[in-house]
Structure 1
Amino acid sequence: MFQPVVDLVQGGIYGHESLIRGPERTVLHSADALFAEARRQGLATRLEMLSAQAGIATFQQHGRGGYLFLNMSATALLQSWAQHGEGFLQALLAGVPLDPSRIVIEMTEHDPVSSRLPALMDVFAALRRWGLRIALDDYGVGHSSMQLWAEARPDLVKVDRYFFQGISRDETRQKLVKAILATAQCLGTPILAEGIETQEDLQTVRDLGIRYAQGWHLGGPASEPLTQVLAPAQAALAARQASPSFGRASNTAASLRVQAPAVKVGRHTNDEVHRLFSEHKNLHAVAVVDEDDRPVGIINRRDFSERYAQRYTRELFGRDLCSRFMNAQPVLVDQHTSMDQLSRVLVSEDQRYLVDGFIITCEGRYDGLGTGEALVRSVTEMRIEAARYANPLTSLPGNIPISQHIGALLEQGAEFVTCYGDLNNFKPFNDVYGYWRGDDMIQLCADTLKQHCDPLRDFVGHVGGDDFVVLFRSPDWQARVQAAIAQFNRGAIDLYDEDGRDRGGIEAEDRYGVLRFFPFVTLSVGALLVGPAPSAGRIRPEDIASAAAQVKHKVKHGSLSLVTERYGQSLVL
């Protein structure tokens, strides 16, 4: 059986994992039962080797492209190496003419491997000499460890399905995955997300910046490898989350695109690449694409020219295919990728993009090149612009970014909720305790709102003073708002002194100069529901902002904590 591995950037099939099944309608049909019985009889290593050989033979028969992922435990690898030594590759291929560079060995292990790491490293070194790649499977559970990751330096880490099931609704899982991604960036290792079973989880994984994914939503195990991604998954990958830069080409990778010719991986030679560089003096690199125009590599001008200038290089390799001198792992960026997402490239350990640049794609196909210099400049400009419009106290986006984000949501035709938050009794508190304590109250509100928002779906802005705007796309927005109100109201009490807490508030002058009692500061929110098509005609961001402000006033005058209205239609909750 074969289950597809999908490249979320290109939107195509990256490879297939080879899976084994026992005889149908028997107790040994499932892989778990089959291997458990093999281990009981002392045949596990032999079964693993036979399974790998069967996968290779069947995959080659189908004639599919991409990588083939083979599962092998550390025990099986070590025992097979002990048996075959330098003949291991020949034993694995068993006469099948599959290019070893298309094989990825997924190391699965249910037993600790720390005591066997030196021997494993020797096996990995041999596999890499032959062109095979190494992946760690089920990372995050069992005996997968940071030590193994650091020592093995795998070409890919497959993170266990536990972290991704329901990740679109689980902020704890999102935080755990971000921590894993931070480690992956430090070690320069691509990540594969396992167990993707819903459209929402797929989009969340993509927006987190994970390159590869696998799961039932992308395709289950089948007797024949897929040729393309399933239609529902293609639609999910095509749908983009709204962001402040949504729909604005100047804030996406498309703005960095340089139109440049590409070469075909199995057709053009090194001499033709040299001729291309000679004809295009400003070309910093050349993309290498397959017959479907999907990028497979990049050739850096400087590196290529230095090699070609060496004695006999042109005579020896000039007629060789251009893939000889290419970087087979270029940075690929979809044209719709926002600058905020692109900024992650700047902090990655792999800094080759500064010299090679990166390849810009459209629906997975080659669309142009981008330079590291242009990326650094654009991200820097974006950061300066964001700082320019950020609130100096909370560092949250101010009026202009809020309006831009509302405009992006309207352009997308998205359904969202505009929540306008305001603090009750804040001015008397600020007058009595001073602006330092008042700033603490405002910061408390900002922190509370951020804590109850999904960073992948929701947007928090600070209009100024004690006014905040939250743009929700989370389906459970109402529960989030109510939780934020309750948490803030509890936290606000702690900012009063002991006398104020005992009395339930403070005495201060009202707007007419009359001394009276004011209870604790509380948070109230006016929520405006905006549907996919609010009404006929074009809706402007300022229309939404104005309507949300009116709902906020109703909250203030009605002494309520939350009032909800649909845009153009009153609906008080």
Structure 2
Amino acid sequence: MSPGNIDSVLALVDEVRFAFQPLINIKTGAIVAVEALARPAGAHVQDLFREAARQRRLTELDVELAVAALNSAAEHESLLPLHLNVFGGTVTHDIGRFDLVRKKLREIGRREQEVTLEIGPPFAKLNRNQLLAGVEKLRADGFQIALDGVGEGDVPLTLVADIGPAVVKLDRGVVAGLPDSSARVALVESVRHLCESTESQLVAEGVENERQLTALRHNGIRLVQGNLLAPAARRPPTASSVPGVAAEVTDPHVPSISTLASGPRVTEFLSPATMLPIDVTADKVRSVLADHPEISGVVLVDEQNRPQWTIDRNRFLLAVTGPYGHALHAKRPASRLADEPRVVNTATTAIEALNMVTRSDQYRMYDDAIVVDESGRCLGAVRAGDLIRGMAELKVEEAAALNPLTRLPGSDAIARDVARRIASGEIFAVSWLDIDGFKTVNDSAGFSAGDDLIRAIGRSLTDAAASLSSVQVGHVGGDDFLLVADLDDLVALAEMVLDPPRSAGELDVSMSLATLVCTQSTVDSYDEVSRKLAPLKQRAKSLHGSSWVMSRPGSDRIEVLRGSRPGAPPTPPTGFPTYDPEQLPGRNW
């Protein structure tokens, strides 16, 4: 495109066509929103932006494209939530221009709450306070806020913390390095933990192949966008889900990631809600349902987007299409045929939502649950079928991961807990516990006695985890157990494990406990923790009696807290010394 007067550039907005690419929940296969992507005829959208920037009218072009995207979506009569791209500079320097977007929404009969503004870079030269003030203004107007391009360019992670966006979009450049780059995998995991702390939904962009999708699923990413699942198309999708996606998620060989002890939140199963004003007529609702067979129901909301009533598709259509139904209801408020909404918030777990569903009246058993934010505004709906299937899969996965002898989780659960603690910068301890001479136990007392001994230890560890809130335990195979705990619980945990006398048949048994104190600066992964524990375990097993050895951050010395060397007097049980974490050797976290 040759340089020219900016009015000619703005005139080209009329020639810009838009492609629509869905954002997909790979837990359920549901399409949760579509992003409008500008496709100028005979040019790249960056050409328009460069010319607009040269003429110092970039914010004008930015908003004009957003308005044009709304027009295009309206022409296709899509009811899916829409994502629009805007520059951070527009939000910072020309916030008043977004009134044009709001005006266009009024014209096409949509609400700000149905639009997510993806705010993208560059950010480096922007005034942070002005940007945050602009974001708060847009949020107050009802727009959802997303932060785009995270992981590449000049998008600081502190901006995620400061803005607290509803959505964080992981840049395609990060996804492109998966799964071969361990550094990219670690980056994904770190951003996921950050999003959990800000209660933001993380979307991975640019998913192009199965290996990338598998790596994202392994890291607990539920929302994705990319050509593998659904390429950008000239028309928004008419279906509400992508076939085959949910089937992939049920792969029993894929470990699940849940950072919540009580299971995943209901937001993992979120689908768009079709929202209409509370005074809408029954005829209008019938028309919407007839034109969109993928819609399972409608939410009637007030002016603040708070759900007041819900309409189930099947019950509603039976009422208005039966004998005299149209004459009786068509011009009257649709709320006459509605039910009170079943409302949950973003902190509700899936199992809590499922309990609410199953305890409702029989005729409402499969109605959607409506998810609201802290202000009571509708964020979307959760289908009962998705909840039932998702929780059934979770229980199957949990059962498959338990050791059949002790019913304790395996190494995957410990690995996730360790990764979470490292990412959040905690100081914690990982311990490796096993039975001394266990082969001799089996050979002398029999396999049954050996199994009984392992079960007894498993019960002790279960009791310890129940009484000490920070403790996570796992049975990683044979007579090997892993324990994770805060430092404050470490002594009590060791006493509960090592103090009780153990025996198999008539054979007295001792145990070895090796502990590694971990900080973010001394270990960066579960694999490194495992590697550093191996020599500690060997040292513990070289001692007589039930033993406990420990290694601390910044020190090569292995401390013997229990047990004795051959020929030496036994080391009496000792408490774990207390200290100020600021004085840990080598502290630099």
Which of 1 and 2 has higher RCO (CA within 8 Å, sep 6+)? 1
Q: What TM-score, normalized by structure 2, do the two folds share?
A: 0.46
Q: What TM-score, normalized by structure 1, do the two folds share?
A: 0.47
